[in-house]
Each structure stands twice: as C-alpha cells, then as structure tokens.
C-alpha cells in the first residue's frame, strides 16, 4: 500500500481534496464596519492560502448575540452573505475547498462588544476571561475587557440559538461554502453546555452527561436537516480547559456526544488540541476510542510538525491535519513543507487581531 502523508489526496465525502493540509480557523478581526461584513481584503487573505486542501474559516457568529469580540464576521445578514461570496469565489478559483465555522460565544462576551448582556447555560461568569474591543488605541491594538455575567438561557433562548445555527448553515451554502463546521470547542456556547462546571441547569439540558450533550445534538440535527450531513462538521476540544472550563467529566461526555454525532453521519469531527509548549497531549487510547466510535473523517489541529502530522496520518487515527500559525505567516505552507524551506515568523504581534490594511495579514512573502 502507498504510504499516506500530508500530500496524499483525500475524499471528504463528495469533495476531492488535493492534499491533507487543512487551514485551521483563526480569528483575525478584519470584518468591515458597521455590520461585521466580510470584504475583499479577507478574500485576498483566504485566496492566498488556497494551497491547503481545505480551509475552515475564522469563527463566524450566527447572530449579534453570538458575537464576543470586535470586528469578527457574521453570517446572519444579506450583506454578510454577499461579502462571504467574495471569499468562496476566490478560494474555489484557486482550487481549494472551504467550510464556514458557525459560532456562538455564549457567556464569553461583554455588552461593550455588541451592546447585549451575554447568555449561557447558567448565570455563571467565566472567571479570568477577557474579550476585546477596539477603542482608538494609537497603535490600533485591541483593548481587552472582562466578560460580564451571563443571563441563564430559558427555553425560548435555546430554541432561538438552534434556529440561528440552522439559518447560519443555510446562509453559508447560499454564500457558496462547501459546508459548515459547528464550533463546539474552546469554551464557547456549545462547550459551555457540555461541561458540568459551566452548565448547572436542572432541566433537560443540564445535570447528566446525556442532558449536557443535548444542545449540540439538536443544533447538529437542525443543520443536517437544512444542508445535509455530508456538509456538516463539528469541532470539539476535550483537552482544553481555559475560559474557566475545567470539567473532570468532559472526556466521557465527549464520547457520548461522539456516538450521537456518528448516528447523524456528519462529515467529520475536528479536534482542537492544545498548542502551547507544555500543553497536555491527547492520549493514544482516546484517539483509538474516537476512531472506533466515529466512522467518518477525523481532523486534528494543534501546532503539529509535518513529521508529527505524517505519523498521525500513517496511524490511520486521523485523516486531515490542521495548521494555524504556519498558514497565517506562510500562505504557501504546503510548498514550503515539500521543499523543507524556512518559514516566515510572525512579523508583528500587533497585527494578529484587527487592522484594516494588508500589514501582517496579506503581506507575508511567498517562496
């Protein structure tokens, strides 16, 4: 059998991917104001990086209520749909595929961002957690502000959020995306429902592990009914606990969720893995169990070297590998890997979030 590596083509259901490099979602806060509208500069940015077999966009809020950071794009107005068409057209013309990541931040927000009180599974604040706004700092930097106490979601709020994800998925397809990724990771709304420390409800959405996965299952079911299982993925982060999300039951809860997602026959599960130097490593037995429980595509993202990526691919425990920072600074990252070429460093940390020009965004050199 031919050895599988990052350059091996892959079939993601109906989509033919030219390689197994995935450009991971990265918030960059470049949406046009007012209205959080995707724009031509963003189209250039994504188009430059279309050497990836598939791109997952930056997190994109499904409603104004779902926004937690300034200048992040939405997918709930016609103007936003038209803006995203610039991006999907550019990426498709360059030969890649692209999914939109659907996002609701839940309690990780402030009225200083969107004028609204945050909502969440419980009226429990995320300790030591900040979001950012832009308030005219001389160097254009983001200003971090603490999150505010959320309103506990009632039954109508939950129905509203499920509908927002459904409409967001419908709008994404109208904007030309190949599919959507439901953001169930990193301490945002769906993850907040999954975890016992942030979800202290006593109704059918709280208490037991089976109840805590209900919102994820209902959102995913709504999206699948709207656009099809083959166009639907879910991102999870079982080993990441920042934003006050440390839950001793999360691994068992994630496996219950995985079984439910497998029954829905969704396209993929995307593991967001911790990417700092002393971060916990995902145990091999977790990967083995995930492969047993989930029959379709598995994606792993988390600061992996090409050698680590190839080892995972060869093990058949992972099918695609996500890269974030390396695509941020190297629009031709696969070519650099193939040639073992040096990588561009981050040119200026001030340009990671925000900015209305190409500096630190579309001005990174190609080979």
pLDDT tens-digit readout, 46-104:
999 999 999 999 999 999 999 999 999 999 999 999 999 999 999 999 999 999 999 99
Q: What is the pLDDT of residue 159?
A: 98
Q: Determine the structural domain holding residue 55 and report its residue range.
A: 10-351
Quote the tokens at residue 311: 């080892």
The answer to the question of residue 68 being in a domain is yes
Number of domains in the chain: 1
The answer to the question of residue 363 being in a domain is no
Look-up of token digits 């995902």: 282
The catalytic residues are 188
Cβ atoms of 334 and 21 within 8 Å: the answer is yes
Cβ atoms of 61 and 18 within 8 Å: the answer is no
pLDDT per residue, tens digit, the chain (367 aa), is 679 999 999 999 999 999 999 999 999 999 999 999 999 999 999 999 999 999 999 999 999 999 999 999 999 999 999 999 999 999 999 999 999 999 999 999 999 999 999 999 999 999 999 999 998 776 778 999 999 999 999 999 999 999 999 999 999 999 999 999 999 999 999 999 999 999 999 999 999 999 999 999 999 999 999 999 999 999 999 998 889 999 999 999 999 999 999 999 999 999 999 776 656 678 889 999 999 999 999 999 998 999 999 999 999 999 999 999 999 999 999 999 999 999 999 998 989 999 888 999 999 999 9
The answer to the question of residue 1 being in a domain is no
Quote the tokens at residue 246: 């440390």
Q: What is the pLDDT of residue 278?
A: 59
CA distance readout (Å), 217 to 121, 152, 231, 234: 15, 20, 16, 10
Burial of 281 (0-12, 13-18, 19+ CB in 10 A): exposed
- CATH code of residue 101: 3.20.20.70
The answer to the question of residue 365 being in a domain is no
Rg over alpha carbons for the chain, rounded to the nearest Å, is 19
> What is the DSSP pairing of strand 10-12 with strand 143-146?
unpaired
Nearest to 92 by CA among 66, 128, 55: 55
Backbone conformation region of residue 34, classed left if phi is above 0, alpha if psi is from -120 to 50, else beta: beta
The answer to the question of residue 361 being in a domain is no
pTM of the model: 0.97
321 CB neighbour count, 10 Å cutoff: 24
The answer to the question of residue 315 being in a domain is yes
How many residues in the chain?
Answer: 367
The answer to the question of residue 310 being in a domain is yes
The answer to the question of residue 345 being in a domain is yes
Q: What is the pLDDT of residue 141?
A: 84
Cβ atoms of 221 and 165 within 8 Å: the answer is no
Burial of 64 (0-12, 13-18, 19+ CB in 10 A): middle
Nearest to 189 by CA among 170, 212, 166: 212
């Amino acid at each position: 059998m031919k050895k599988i590596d990052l350059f091996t083509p892959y079939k993601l259901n109906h989509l033919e991917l030219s390689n197994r490099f995935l450009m991971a979602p990265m918030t960059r806060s470049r949406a046009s104001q007012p209205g959080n509208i995707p724009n031509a500069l963003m189209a250039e940015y994504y188009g430059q990086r279309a050497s990836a077999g598939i791109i997952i966009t930056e997190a994109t809020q499904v409603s104004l209520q779902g926004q937690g950071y300034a200048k992040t794009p939405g997918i709930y107005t016609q103007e936003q749909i038209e803006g995203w068409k610039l991006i999907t057209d550019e990426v498709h013309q360059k030969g890649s595929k692209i999914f939109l990541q659907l996002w609701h931040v839940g309690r990780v927000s402030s009225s200083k961002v969107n004028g609204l009180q945050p909502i969440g599974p419980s009226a429990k604040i995320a300790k030591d957690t900040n979001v950012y706004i832009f308030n005219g700092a001389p160097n254009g930097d983001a200003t971090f502000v603490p999150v505010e106490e959320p309103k506990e979601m009632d039954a109508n709020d939950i129905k509203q959020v499920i509908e927002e994800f459904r409409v967001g998925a419908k709008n994404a397809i109208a904007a030309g995306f190949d599919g959507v990724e439901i953001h169930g990771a990193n301490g945002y709304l769906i993850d907040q429902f999954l975890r016992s420390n942030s979800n202290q409800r006593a109704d059918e959405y709280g208490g037991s592990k089976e109840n805590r996965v209900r919102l994820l299952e209902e959102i995913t079911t709504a999206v699948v009914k709207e656009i099809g299982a083959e166009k639907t993925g879910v991102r999870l982060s079982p080993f990441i606990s920042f934003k006050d999300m440390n839950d001793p039951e999360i691994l068992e809860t994630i496996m219950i969720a995985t079984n439910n997602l497998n029954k829905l026959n969704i396209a993929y599960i995307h593991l967001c893995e911790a990417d700092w130097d002393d971060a916990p490593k995902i145990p091999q037995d977790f990967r083995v169990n995930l492969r047993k429980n989930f029959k379709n595509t598995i994606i792993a993202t988390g600061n992996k070297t090409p050698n680590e990526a190839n080892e995972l691919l060869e093990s058949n425990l992972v099918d695609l590998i996500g890269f974030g920072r390396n695509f941020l600074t190297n629009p031709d990252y696969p070519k650099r890997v193939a040639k073992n070429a040096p990588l561009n460093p981050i040119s200026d940390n001030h340009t990671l979030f925000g900015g209305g020009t190409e500096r630190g965004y579309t001005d990174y050199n190609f080979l």
